[in-house]
Structure 1
Amino acid sequence: MPSATHIAFSKERLLALPPSEAGKRATYHDTKIQGLQLRVSPSGVKTFSIYRRMKGGQPERVTLGRFPAMTVEQARKQATAVNAEIEAGGNPAAARRAIREEQTFGEVFDDFLKKKRKRDGTPLGERTKRDYSDVLRLYLEPIRGRRLSHITRADIKTIHAKVTKKSAAQANRALAVVSSVFSYAADMELFEGISPAIRVQKNHAPSRDRFAQAVELPYLFEAIGESSLSDFFLLALLTGARRSNVQAMAWRDLDLDARVWRIGMTKNGTPQNVTLSPEAVSALKARKRTTGTSPFVFPGEGKTGHLVEPKKAWAAVLLRASLRRLLDHLEGIGKLTTEERQQADQRVTAAPAAAAKRYRASADALEIDPAIYDMTDLRIHDLRRTLGSWQAKTGASLAIIGKSLNHKTHQATAIYARLDLDPVRQSVNTATQAMLEAAGIKQPAEVVKLPTKLNS
């Protein structure tokens, strides 16, 4: 009959084990894995170990980890590995060192940021590194100090579920970072187990298709023209380039005579030639007269030397655009007189936050659907999508759009590579004219006159 100290380890049974007597340490033996023990101290600390005799030598104990931080499944897995080492004639001391020296998630994460290479052999970009570091800091702290083999799928599911309550997209991003780090660890032979991110169900993430509609463009252009970063937002729209590339746009990469902007490296790991419409060239020439000796089109005071964070300015643009759209609606349904409208416009210009509180309260009282006027869901990245959408509206093929926006897909890459810039330039120019006409800035077949700030 088996002893009371010989049991099939399970979470419930081990949690129920009492502390040992004072001055003694109780030892329990797993009936499923040879040599696997759980030792319980008088203070109630429970520690897994494996106790085995070396071939032709003395017994040795290899400490595995504390319960419940180390689960029964993890302990059995580690014990099996140690047993295999012993059966092969290995030294359990080496097995002990391997377990103790296994890197933590945080250590592998740091190595991942430094040494990970993309498919084209280039290192991770600085922005990508910052984004990954933010994910670690905000969501993955519970596993930062844990050794890789001690992180379970249950741990990752718990983190994913917790983050999902705040943001489904960020929860998926945290899961992707964990998966990437474990894949890197496997590639570097730092980890031989199964990634705990495998089979964790992602949240459904509908593809985003937001872009500036024709009815929104007049308000958007007017608000952009009032912004301290008006040139930045206009060039982001007129080039369709990624925000990070526009922020770091350098004069040396621009050929205004040829109307081409050369981006040495984009997010997808490839260079890009961006065609510049006449309006974009006009904006750049105006900026050249105001940027002094800075090598960047949009200088900044930080260590990068260029503009880093335009989100606050963009929020102000969207607030003004939304308010003016709301005021037009209120006036159109007879809720604002001409005099009241003039006062409202002054409030929007002088104190947009206070104006927003006032007139949104009026809209709520009148049960006006925010979808009629609210544009605050428009993101800076949607400017890029806006150009592509207007290209599609004006008849451009998917291949042309992909080339102008530097999209990279397995199916279309070969087609993009065969295209020259002439049809791309024509498509971008056509889309630009259509947007300007919709915004009321230019009439068809007339010479373009952009907002004053662009031509100053």
Structure 2
Amino acid sequence: MSCVRRFKFTEKKLSSLSNNKVEQVVRFYDTEMDGLIAIQRPSGVLSYAVYKKPKGAKSPVTVLMGKVGTVSLSHAREQAQEHISTILKGDNPNLMMRERNQNGLTLQKALDEYCELRKDRVNANTLLQYQNAIQNYSPMLLKKKIKDITFEEVSDVHKKISNGQCSWIQSNGKRYRMKKPSPSQANLWGGPCAPLSIMRWITGEGQIDGS
């Protein structure tokens, strides 16, 4: 495939690269944010990731953040900044999450911690949107350990939101059913999940290197 490997990431440009067939893993580098990349596999799947060398390490680590088209570019940039900050301190986000997963971190607990950590940097209404999206669209996943949540489960929720097939119990005890398909809500649901490192289940790929 003939293409420029370094360019300013835009939704349109990345979308044009999605599903291209490549013979081996290809990395595209964002010229706007050092460390933000898009990885394309031979299957054609294009995923956002951070590719950065931790302080004192011999080689870079790759932290996947979800599929292009499922995760918005703005969410990818936001999450990449957090991962890069962690990496520059000498920590490996992959190892940190692996340890937390082994300790039984649930989606609800991860969501609570995420909102608590970011309450001084993210608008309260935005955090509430994140909470409502995860709690309304995926209540069946809240008590599950993140390490036990499967790609099929996450993919199924995203598909149902996109197709307008979700329902949930409201605070008044009544069941609410989506009135129409909503790809935008599916992306909202996918966005806040990215900081919880659940997006790797959406990619269905795991880590490339630098575990």
Q: TM-score, normalised by structure 1?
A: 0.23
Structure ID, larger Rg: 1
Q: Which structure's relative contact order is higher, taking Cα pairs within 8 Å and 6+ residues apart? A: 2
Q: TM-score, normalised by structure 2?
A: 0.46
The structure whose residues are more often strand, as a share, is 2
The structure whose residues are more often helix, as a share, is 1
